[in-house]
Each structure stands twice: as C-alpha cells, then as structure tokens.
Copies of this chain bind each other. A is one copy, B any other.
Amino acid sequence: MDDERLSRVFAALADPTRRELVARLAVGDATVGELAEPFDMSLQAVSKHLKVLGDAGLVSQRRDAQRRPCHLESEVFDLASKWLERYRLQAEGRYQRLDRVLAELVDQTDAAPRSAARNQGAQAS
C-alpha cells in the first residue's frame, strides 16, 4: 500500500510541468488560474496535472468561492524522501549509518518548527 503511494508520488514528480507546479507552490499557495498562467498550455491541462499531484497526496485544494487555492502537503514527501535516502546510502555502501540518518529525517519531520537548536542534544526516542 505504501508501494502504491510511492508509485503515485514518483510518477507525479516524473513530469517537469508538475515539478514546476510543486516549485511554485513551495513559495506559497496559489489558485489554479495563477498556477496555469506561466504555462503555454490550457487551464484544463494544468487542472489535470494538479489532479495527479492531488491523487499522489502532494497537493491539497481548499475552496474559496469559485477559486480553489492549492497547497503543498509535506507528508508524502517524507515517504519518498526516506525511500530515496535509504537506497542512496546503500548505493554508497554506507548503510551502516542508515538508522541514524533515518532517525534524523524523522526528527526533522516531527519536531515543531520552533528552534534551530535541535541538533546537538536531540532526543533519542
């Protein structure tokens, strides 16, 4: 089931147009029209791309009158990031540090965005 989600995330990110949409949304939320504007492509096409990103869980949409502001979701990024990180390290033959690095990823994910001083003590849980 994670497998299915991974497939959708990677497939969604395999398209350059969709990666540009992600990059734009990383700056801040935007409506479909705003997102479509820079592209030489119909609004419908962009809407379809957003649906793919949405199905992958990378993007969510609110409802604001006629508008549907899009928002980047971080959760599935974690999933893909961890998968990649695991095999990146193994490909380097340095999987001995895997546990520590994955723990750090989790730490970065779970910790509230309060201080930047979470690096030296770091709760072990």
A contact set with B: CB distance below 8 Å: 3, 6-8, 10-11, 13-16, 19, 22-23, 26-27, 72-74, 77-78, 80-81, 83-97, 100-101, 108-109, 113, 116, 119-120, 122
Inter-chain CA distance A101–B95, complex, in Å, is 19
Contact A26 B87 (CB under 8 A): yes
Contact A90 B11 (CB under 8 A): no
Extra contacts, 13 of them, besides A10-B11, A81-B88 (Cβ < 8 A), are A3-B16, A6-B16, A8-B14, A26-B95, A27-B90, A77-B84, A80-B84, A81-B84, A94-B108, A94-B113, A97-B113, A100-B116, A119-B120
Contacts of A85 in B (CB 8 A): 81
CB distance from A82 to the nearest CB of B (A): 10
Q: Which interface residue of A22, A74, A87, A120 has the most chain B CB atoms within 10 A?
A: A87
Inter-chain CA distance A26–B101, complex, in Å, is 17
